[in-house]
Amino acid sequence: MSTTQLIDRRLEQEILRRRTFAIISHPDAGKTTLTEKLLLYGGCVEVAGAVRGRKTQRAARSDWMELEKQRGISVNSTVLVFEFEGHQVNLLDTPGHHDFSEDTYRTLMAADCAVMVIDLAKGIETQTEKLFKVCALRGLPVITFVNKVDRPGREPLAILAEIEEKFGITAVAANWPIGGGRDFAGVLDLASRQAHLFEGRQGDRRTAAEIIDDVTLAAVSPEGARACEEAELLAGAGAAFDREAFLAGRQSPVFFGSALTNYGVEQFLHGFLALCPSPTARLSRTGPVPPTSPSFAGFVFKIQANLDPNHRDRIAFVRVCSGTFRRDMDVLHVRTGKTIRLRRAHRVFGQERETVDEAFPGDIVGLVNPGEFRLGDTICEGPPVSFEPLPTFAPERFATLRCQDTIRRKQFERGLSQLLEEGVVQLFHDPAAIVREPILGGVGELQFDVVRFRLENEYATSTALQWLPYTIARWITGGRELLPTVRIMSTARLVHDQDGNPVVLFQSAWDADYMAREYRELTFSAVR
């Protein structure tokens, strides 16, 4: 066998054992708790962290930022990489809060599959519905984990029906809960007909299960008998799992469990690894790029400043799409046309990192970024490749931000610049203003809280925020040459974004519609 054939065979083997997925949910559905428990059963931690808990409890590894620890919510997507039973698992924990949707959307661009977490009591909530639609548009297969079965909630059959009704897909149960609420005792695997029974509710360490067959289960307790009866009904009336339909986004396997108590988590991890696809081809402007292509190619989907507060550096997270990444390799930076050497590359685990010498399609590589990378940038060997652009959506809240201490002005400008690189908020400025103060745009108020908190804690600069009355932004993508002749209404404001593109800020949808009617020669867009 030739050297080239050996290289190709190794590449194929490494691709087959990769699993790269994102976890999505509405806030408080248990997404971060499930992430921690997957790390626990994956063998990377001995004790799982708590999202909210006593001061003696450790914070969740995916929520490493100080603001996340204080508020008990995820405001930042996190990369967690671990090995489990011959697979390399690249787990992307995403923010559930609506204000950080753009970060979640960008992260989904780097995933091959999504795990959707649903609260049994609350069912499908607003943000979950929005994120599922994004997955559908991306063509991402979705696996569902119905969480909090150990609490009072809806009937499992009702959850399956809601998934089918709201998402227009077929929900296929992979396991079935044995009891519910305080009587929740475990899960019945519908393929093997084996029941996994648990005792105890301490969830910070791995919990062993007693495994029995369904015949024995039916004789053990009324809850067991009912689970077996419902499983028989599903086998007779429910849809069978169809892998092609799942990969096409027309079907979602559904697992039940409790992330807090660990009931069903290990079984879900095994089931997920069997279902989740290995890395597939990525769309580019010149067509699909298969992962088996020998030439390396990847794109930047996330930038994080101050991952290590001691070094104040920036990390550009690159999804490897094809070929083999090697440390110290020379690549083409497609946007600038420059050749750069990738000297400092890391494998990231939350806030922790280690040097990585090589990586394969599906892997996430962290590159120390001195400022040359932007969100959406492509790096590659061989002919230039341009992958799908990352989405940028119109903000809904706007405010000016001032540095309150003139002595700290440089720190303020540097900090704001690095946060803008991350895409935490969008930046606008008024070219006609006498004093050029940054205008920040975001989806919700929490984004602005994050900016101010990080400027104060990471860059030691205090700020003052002044809200502006605008609620809608529209980029002018056509007819720009006519702008000098356009009269901007008193309730609107013409600004430029950070790349110099003209944007009109409106106070209401009526104002935006009126101006679009008055100036039909201009093209207004809600997406950049």
Q: What percentage of the chain exceeds 90 in pLDDT?
A: 57
CATH numeric code, 397-525: 3.30.70.3280
Q: What percentage of the chain exceeds 70 in pLDDT?
A: 89
- pLDDT reported for residue 424: 84
Tokens of 53: 């808990």
- pLDDT reported for residue 497: 93
State yes or no: pLDDT of 470 exceeds 70: yes
State yes or no: pLDDT of 237 exceeds 80: no
> Which of 121-130, 288-297, 383-392, 405-414 is least confident?
383-392
State yes or no: pLDDT of 67 exceeds 80: no
Pairing outcome for strands 186-189 and 287-289:
unpaired
State yes or no: pLDDT of 64 exceeds 70: no
Average pLDDT over residues 388-405: 87
- pLDDT reported for residue 60: 47
State yes or no: pLDDT of 446 exceeds 90: no
234 and 190 in contact (C-beta within 8 Å)? yes
Q: How many helices (H) and strands (E) would you count in the chain? A: 13, 31
Tokens of 2: 């030739």
State yes or no: pLDDT of 235 exceeds 90: no
28 and 52 in contact (C-beta within 8 Å)? no
Q: Where are the domains of the chain?
A: 14-275, 293-380, 397-525
Confidence of residue 59 (pLDDT cuts 50, 70, 90): very low
Average pLDDT over residues 290-313: 83
State yes or no: pLDDT of 121 exceeds 80: yes
- pLDDT reported for residue 52: 36
CA–CA distance, 444 with 112 (Å, rounded to integer): 28
State yes or no: pLDDT of 130 exceeds 70: yes
What's this model's pTM, rounded to 2 decimal places?
0.86
- pLDDT reported for residue 329: 94
Confidence of residue 72 (pLDDT cuts 50, 70, 90): low
Average pLDDT over residues 207-216: 88
CA–CA distance, 267 with 143 (Å, rounded to integer): 14
- pLDDT reported for residue 46: 55
DSSP 74-137: --S-EEEEEEETTEEEEEEE---SGGGHHHHHHHHTT-SEEEEEEETTTBS-HHHHHHHHHHHH
Which is more confidently placed, 278 or 28? 278
Tokens of 278: 């290995």
State yes or no: pLDDT of 48 exceeds 60: no
State yes or no: pLDDT of 492 exceeds 90: yes
Domain 14-275 has CATH 3.40.50.300: yes
CA–CA distance, 429 with 447 (Å, rounded to integer): 18
Domain 293-380 has CATH 3.30.110.60: no
- pLDDT reported for residue 501: 92
Q: Do domains 14-275 and 293-380 have the same CATH topology?
A: no
State yes or no: pLDDT of 70 exceeds 60: no
Give Dmax (Cα) for the chain.
Answer: 82
Residue 466 neighbours by CB distance under 10 Å: 11
- pLDDT reported for residue 172: 96
User: What is the H or E stretch that residue 413 is in?
Assistant: helix 409-422
The per-residue pLDDT for range 77-120, each reduced to its tens digit, is 788 888 888 999 999 988 866 767 778 888 999 999 999 999 99
Tokens of 489: 């209404």
Query: What torsion, rounded to 10 degrees, do the Cα atoms 368, 370, 375, 380 define?
Result: -70
The per-residue pLDDT for range 416-442, each reduced to its tens digit, is 988 888 888 999 999 988 878 899 999
Spatial strand order in the sheet of 472-478? 463-467, 397-403, 439-442, 426-429, 492-497, 502-506, 472-478, 523-525
Tokens of 23: 């976890």
Question: What is the rounded average pLDDT for all residues in the chain?
Answer: 87
State yes or no: pLDDT of 14 exceeds 90: yes
- pLDDT reported for residue 503: 95
Average pLDDT over residues 329-337: 94
CA–CA distance, 347 with 340 (Å, rounded to integer): 20
Which is more confidently placed, 304 or 62? 304
Residues with Cβ within 8 Å of 395's Cβ and at least 6 positions away in sequence, in order, are 425, 426, 441, 442, 443, 473
Q: CA nearest 130: which of 111, 102, 149, 165?
A: 102
